[in-house]
């Protein structure tokens, strides 16, 4: 007989599923939560308990679980075309999505190349950058630059431009060396310095490196405005302007990884709009499918596209993934973009963000909290003298308060879906305070 209770699902999962980014032994003490269904901002377990998805299920969900509009689009797409390969064939959802995304950049980034997960998009951007220089005869441009604390994914190439020791160190011998420059993290401001001053200092570090070895550097890769995985490190948009200018001056590509910060997360549809710059490559994933299906893509300028356009097959970009441009995933993305248009999402988010920031003031002013920060629909603060195992204890305690939250080290953050009601916003703030106080009390 099939087992159906909550604890049976846990036991069966632990017997056969290897969960991501987890030391599995921790599940001897930390509960694994089997989700039976989702609705709006909430996930429900098999015993009827619910959890407010305050981190959008790893930053992917924008308009809630089981969103009726995205569901309807997907059901229609299922009955039309579930999948067709994208080499030699094309289809309506991928064409419309590429056109709409291009239009959102004022057609500066005219072509989109598709993959599935974020890390694959990063791999593509790195390979494309190197290969386009090569096609132009600049074969020495083989190096990549990343920022201190950067995170671009877990595959070998993406990990090489990631600077989070916990994820990277074990695989050090497998990874190609990259150059690491200072992070513009505004928290590192010295006494009397502004975030813009830190941005200038960090850009000077890039300039130093470009002067020294710009002829060997293919690209610099940056998470614009917020370096999320390192602990929601935020910086001044000025940094992106300065680096864009340096890239132009030294002939280095600018790759902006908007996998976490794109799709309205920072207040504008693309984070780089706040700096009024466009990159040479823009990576998008996570929220673009509304959090429904794995979809990632790299948008690029027509000059880059032209560098591959030739009668010589080896000058082409011969990269592929089986599910490249999945019609279902692209249709989910189109439904997501339609919600942005129909609901004036960026403006309504502003109102929601103001309310949550206000409701979080007791935490912002808390004497065990520093660096309370917010950009768009991202909030974060750092616990002062956080107890051992703070993050795991916070996660477990949060579940007891109907919250799904996973602090990064001693940084507590929120990245909720864009559909929270006023009541949910107030509940999120009040419960986060309660969880924080309980965990800090030990």
Residue list, annotated binding site for pyridoxal 5'-phosphate: 118-119, 257, 321-322
Residue 23 to residues 26, 29, 65, 132, 391: CA-CA distances in angstroms?
A: 6, 11, 27, 40, 13
Q: Does 123 bind ligand PLP (CB under 6 A)?
A: no
Interface segment toward ligand PLP; rule CB under 6 A; list 111-119, 234-242, 325-333, 373-381? 111-119
Apex 410 CA angle, 408 and 414, nearest 5: 55
Among 93, 110, 149, 153, binds ligand PLP (CB under 6 A): 153
State the Cα–Cα distance between residues 274 and 264, nearest whole angstrom: 11
Q: What is the DSSP letter of 243?
A: H
Q: What are the E-state strand segments in 278-385?
A: 281-284, 296-300, 369-375, 378-383
Interface segment toward ligand PLP; rule CB under 6 A; list 42-50, 147-155, 342-350, 434-442? 147-155
Q: Give the number of C-alpha atoms closer than 13 A to the C-alpha of residue 278, restricted to the C-beta side.
A: 14
Distance from the first to the final alpha carbon of the chain: 43
Q: Does 223 bind ligand PLP (CB under 6 A)?
A: yes
Q: Which is nearer to ligand PLP, 274 or 285 (CB)?
A: 285
Q: Which is nearer to ligand PLP, 378 or 425 (CB)?
A: 378
Q: Which is nearer to ligand PLP, 163 or 223 (CB)?
A: 223
Q: Does 122 bind ligand PLP (CB under 6 A)?
A: yes
Phi then psi for residue 255, to 5 deg, are -105, 120
DSSP 22-86: --GGGGGTSPP--EEEEEBTEEEETTS-EEEETTHHHHT-SS-BT-HHHHHHHHHHHTT-S---S
Interface segment toward ligand PLP; rule CB under 6 A; list 35-43, 47-55, 113-121, 313-321? 113-121
Q: Which is nearer to ligand PLP, 151 or 210 (CB)?
A: 151
Q: Does 115 bind ligand PLP (CB under 6 A)?
A: no
Site residues for ligand PLP, window 295-334 (CB under 6 A)?
none
Interface segment toward ligand PLP; rule CB under 6 A; list 47-55, 117-125, 189-197, 366-374? 117-125
Q: Which residue has the tokens 């017997």?
A: 15
Q: Does 266 bind ligand PLP (CB under 6 A)?
A: no
Which two tokens mark 147?
């920022």
Which residues lie near ligand PLP (CB under 6 A)? 117-119, 122, 151-153, 223, 228-229, 257, 259-260, 285
């Amino acid at each position: 007989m099939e087992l159906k209770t909550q604890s049976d699902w846990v036991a069966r999962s632990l017997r056969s599923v290897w969960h991501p980014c987890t030391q599995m032994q921790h599940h001897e003490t930390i509960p694994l939560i089997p989700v039976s269904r989702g609705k709006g901002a909430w996930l429900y377990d098999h015993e009827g308990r619910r959890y407010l998805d305050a981190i959008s299920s790893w930053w992917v969900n924008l308009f809630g679980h089981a969103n009726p509009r995205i569901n309807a689009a997907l059901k229609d797409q299922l009955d039309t075309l579930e999948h067709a390969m994208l080499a030699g064939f094309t289809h309506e959802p991928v064409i419309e999505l590429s056109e709409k995304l291009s239009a959102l950049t004022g057609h500066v980034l005219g072509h989109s190349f598709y993959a599935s997960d974020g890390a694959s998009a990063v791999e593509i951007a790195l390979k494309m950058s190197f290969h386009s220089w090569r096609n132009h005869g600049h074969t020495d441009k083989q190096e990549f630059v990343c920022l201190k604390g950067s995170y671009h994914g877990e595959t070998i190439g993406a990990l090489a431009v990631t600077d989070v020791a916990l994820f990277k160190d074990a695989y050090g011998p497998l990874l190609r060396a990259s150059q690491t420059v200072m992070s513009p993290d505004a928290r590192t401001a010295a006494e009397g310095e502004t975030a813009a001053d830190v941005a200038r200092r960090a850009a000077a570090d890039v300039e130093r490196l470009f002067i020294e070895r710009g002829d060997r550097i293919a690209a610099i890769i940056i998470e614009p405005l917020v370096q999320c995985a390192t602990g929601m490190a935020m910086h001044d948009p000025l940094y992106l302007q300065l680096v864009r200018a340096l890239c132009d001056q030294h002939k280095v590509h600018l790759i902006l990884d908007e996998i976490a910060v794109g799709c309205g997360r920072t207040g504008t549809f693309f984070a780089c709009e706040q700096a009024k710059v466009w990159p040479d490559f823009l990576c998008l994933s996570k929220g673009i499918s509304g959090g429904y299906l794995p979809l990632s893509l790299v948008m690029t300028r027509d000059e880059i596209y032209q560098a591959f356009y030739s009668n010589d097959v080896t000058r082409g970009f011969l990269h592929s993934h089986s599910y490249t441009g999945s019609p279902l995933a692209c249709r989910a993305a189109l439904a997501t973009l339609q919600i942005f248009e129909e609901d004036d999402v960026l403006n309504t988010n502003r109102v929601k963000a103001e309310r949550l920031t206000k409701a979080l003031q007791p935490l912002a002013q808390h004497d065990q909290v520093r660096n309370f920060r917010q950009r768009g629909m991202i909030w974060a603060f750092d616990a002062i003298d956080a107890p051992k195992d703070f993050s795991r204890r916070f996660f477990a305690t949060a579940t007891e308060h109907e919250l799904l939250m996973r602090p990064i080290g001693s940084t507590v953050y929120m990245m909720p879906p864009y559909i929270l009601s006023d009541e949910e916003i107030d509940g999120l703030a009040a419960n986060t305070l309660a969880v924080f106080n309980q965990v800090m009390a030990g």
